């Protein structure tokens, strides 16, 4: 590189690849390393999985706009969802908390209380952490889950021709955020379901566990960045591509209501809105019905919808009445200037 050229800059994927290359083989007893929803520890640690997420006020949440309860709930939900994406049973959580100056007890109570309550619903205990002073509120959760006798479900297990399925409805979280940002009434009938999906998402821990225990799922991950980018990751990890049908997409009921009220696009929220925290998995097309029954039974009637198939890659194609389009880039890069 010439000395007067600006230095090259890395995007998020490049940073992750560089860190993975520095970390090397990951050492003994590490079955699955950097790049899946969670790391799987093997050997003497007997099938534990570990996931971690860093969230910063102003970048990943906004305390000027959201109550601390919602921030705490969503942080725990996002991490539980990563464990659900492996089919793990949540066990222990570690919270690092950065606070600007001496906090009010009500604030800590609301933020941490919501995390503890949601964790406890799913069998997780807060077991330790770190509390420091920081320029803004910073949360890091590190969760450990147990696989027990089930094998962890990875992104890389998909096979050509697999059915691509999702749990629940998509686009609700992004629609709820759009509704709140537009200053609309969060209790308005119809839209209220989207607001709830945004503020109090339900991680699909029981569904993920049932799918892992079934032994019939080939690849799985949770939907945190939107179907378009998450399915691209799963397909790529499996050495394949994917084709999905717009008409099959299970839109969250609240997304339709919000789209009508704001002249928004419910399908766009479903494909790339993100933070739905549903599960994305692949299986033999003949097994979809059975797996849907298992999920409904395990997770309070939660639905399963086949949205497409794994095909020769690369990329994710969306079929609709208007033809076929490549939606592989429908996700986002956390380092992009406009990413929030």
Question: Quick one: tokens of 252?
Answer: 């969250």
Which one, 27 or 286, has the nearer CB to a second copy?
27
Contact region for a second copy (CB under 8 A) — 16-24, 179-187, 282-290, 313-321? 16-24
Site of tokens 């089919």: 87
Query: Which parts of 116-266 are beta strand (E)?
Result: 125-133, 138-146, 163-167, 217-222, 241-245
- 205 touches a second copy (CB under 8 A): no
Q: Using CB atoms within 10 Å of the CB of residue 139, give its burial: 0 to 12 exposed, 13 to 18 middle, 19+ buried.
A: buried
Contact region for a second copy (CB under 8 A) — 47-55, 170-178, 258-266, 270-278? 47-55
Q: Using CB atoms within 10 Å of the CB of residue 76, give its burial: 0 to 12 exposed, 13 to 18 middle, 19+ buried.
A: buried
Min dist. Cβ of residue 97 to a second copy (A): 7
Contact region for a second copy (CB under 8 A) — 112-120, 152-160, 213-221, 281-289? 112-120
Contact 5, 11 (CB under 8 A): no
Q: For residue 68, is it left (φ>0), alpha (ψ between -120 and 50) or beta?
A: alpha
- 213 touches a second copy (CB under 8 A): no
Which one, 213 or 317, has the nearer CB to a second copy?
213
Contact region for a second copy (CB under 8 A) — 10-18, 210-218, 282-290, 306-314? 10-18
- 42 touches a second copy (CB under 8 A): no
- 59 touches a second copy (CB under 8 A): yes
Min dist. Cβ of residue 31 to a second copy (A): 10
At 206, is the secondary structure helix, strand, or coil?
helix
- 91 touches a second copy (CB under 8 A): yes
Which one, 37 or 162, has the nearer CB to a second copy?
37
Strands 125-133 and 163-167: unpaired
Min dist. Cβ of residue 40 to a second copy (A): 9
């Amino acid at each position: 590189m010439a000395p007067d050229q600006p230095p090259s800059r890395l995007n998020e994927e490049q940073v992750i690849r560089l860190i993975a290359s520095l970390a090397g083989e990951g050492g003994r007893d590490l079955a699955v390393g950097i790049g899946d929803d969670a790391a799987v520890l093997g050997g003497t640690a007997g099938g534990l999985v570990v996931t971690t997420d860093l969230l910063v006020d102003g970048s990943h949440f906004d305390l000027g706009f959201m109550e601390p309860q919602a921030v705490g709930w969503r942080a725990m939900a996002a991490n539980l969802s990563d464990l659900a994406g492996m089919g793990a049973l949540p066990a222990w959580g570690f919270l690092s908390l950065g606070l600007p100056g001496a906090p009010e007890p009500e604030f800590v109570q609301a933020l941490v209380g919501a995390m503890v309550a949601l964790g406890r619903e799913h069998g997780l205990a807060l077991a330790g952490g770190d509390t420091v002073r920081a320029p803004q509120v910073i949360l890091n959760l590190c969760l450990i889950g147990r696989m027990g006798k089930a094998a962890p479900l990875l992104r890389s297990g998909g096979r050509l021709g697999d059915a691509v399925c999702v749990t629940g409805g998509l686009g609700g979280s992004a629609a709820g955020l759009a509704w709140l940002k537009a200053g609309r009434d969060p209790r308005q009938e119809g839209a209220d379901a989207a607001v709830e999906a945004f503020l109090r998402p339900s991680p699909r821990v029981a569904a993920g566990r049932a799918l892992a225990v079934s032994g019939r799922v080939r690849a799985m991950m949770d939907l945190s960045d939107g179907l378009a980018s998450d399915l691209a990751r799963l397909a790529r990890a499996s050495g394949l591509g994917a084709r999905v049908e717009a008409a099959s997409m299970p839109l969250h009921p609240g997304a339709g209501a919000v789209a009508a009220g704001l002249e928004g696009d419910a399908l766009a929220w479903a494909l790339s809105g993100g933070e739905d925290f549903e599960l994305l998995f692949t299986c033999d097309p003949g097994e979809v019905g059975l797996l849907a029954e298992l999920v409904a039974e395990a997770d309070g009637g939660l639905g399963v919808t086949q949205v497409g198939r794994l095909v020769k890659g690369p990329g994710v194609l969306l079929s609709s009445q208007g033809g076929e389009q490549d939606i592989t880039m429908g996700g986002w890069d956390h380092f992009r200037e406009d990413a929030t």
